[in-house]
Structure 1
């Protein structure tokens, strides 16, 4: 299966991907085998392999699906933002919604820790998502006329990623509000 063809999933493939997303996020990629994904989705292992080809491709599809939903949320908030500052802060605003129920932090960072092989298709999805976010910050800052936009984009990226790390390690902390406040101060400075 071509990982990029997620819009045309069969009902069985959609069940597989939904089960994989829940299991991979809750238990980790390496801890979950295709037997469990097949069982949870109500299909045979053969069907899983027919639809996705391999566990590597299933992992990449899982990450790509999350990436598409994340980007859609951020892009919507970015488009609807009334000011240049609000456009830059859109990824922080998206975190409020995105992190509801997320107890293990960032699925992309978690996956990156489990996928050390540079050639793993899932690792490439994660790295592309992080690069996209950095470029979104940079592009928004340049478009808004902020000085030292590239340096500021990296600082914002660090704040944003810090929120995701703290979600898994310090669940009682309101890291989103703290990071958004710090980002606002950076933009005003």
Structure 2
């Protein structure tokens, strides 16, 4: 196996284990076993667990934001499409909330590389929502609705939190741009 395949296997294993069980609960040896990549190669590709966590989150960010962008781009009404997409995600059998908030909740303000990925993900989400409205204040409110729905769904999985947030987003749109927008 070449480095590219080893890296993909490691990231697949890391994502499955970190998302299901938590970052701190999973050691590098478990990732090595799950991936089938020798420990020496694992540490050559990812010299520290922090670098593996950051790479896992970066790859997840690209896929997650990309999926949401596709859903919005193909929608007649993009704002409700955000919440419809979230409802489908919240209904997936392995849904465990936001991987980025989970990582932040476990690791707090360190390590810096992981915190940077978490912040960049939230900034990218805010930027995407900003493309759906001319009002920065409304984009901020949509972000709060999306994030709040995700947190609620982590506690009670299923589409309901996204559908309630969708209703609130539609009311905000009907009301027009908020003050300071």
What TM-score do you get using the length of structure 1 for normalisation? Answer: 0.84
CA distance in 2, matches of 1:188, 1:9: 52
Q: What is the aligned partner in structure 1 of residue 89 from structure 2? A: 98
Counterpart in the other structure of 1:164:
150
* Alignment equivalent of 1:129, drawn from 103, 117, 121: 121
Separation in structure 2 between the aligned mates of residue 102 and residue 167 of structure 1, nearest angstrom: 12
User: Which structure 2 residue ranges, 5 or more long, are not aligned?
Assistant: 176-181
Q: How many residues align?
A: 173
Structure 2 residue corresponding to 1:50, chosen from 44, 48, 56: 44
Deviations 1:124-176 (A, max 9, x none): 1111111111122223201xxxxxx1221111111101111112212357111
Superposed counterparts of 1:111-122, under 5 Å: 111-122=103-114
Structure 1 stretch displaced more, 120-129 or 17-26: 120-129
Post-superposition shift, 1:118?
A: 4.8
CA distance in 1, matches of 2:86, 2:12: 21
Query: How is 1:1-189 mapped onto 2 (pairs within 5 angstroms)?
Result: 10-82=4-76, 86-99=77-90, 100-142=92-134, 149-171=135-157, 174-189=160-175
DSSP-derived class of the 1:30 partner: coil
Aligned to 1:3: none
Q: CA deviation at 1:9?
A: 6.1
1:132–1:89 Cα change, 3 Å: farther
1:75: how far off?
1.2
* TM-score (norm: length of structure 2): 0.87
Q: Give the Å deviation of 1:28.
A: 0.6
Q: Give the gaps of 5 or more residues in structure 1.
A: 1-7, 143-148
CA contact 1:118–1:124 (8 Å) conserved in 2? no
- Distance, in Å, in 1 between the alignment partners of 2:18 and 2:109 is 18
In 2, Cα distance between equivalents of 1:66 and 1:94: 16
The answer (yes or no) to whether the contact 2:104–2:118 under 8 Å persists in 1 is yes
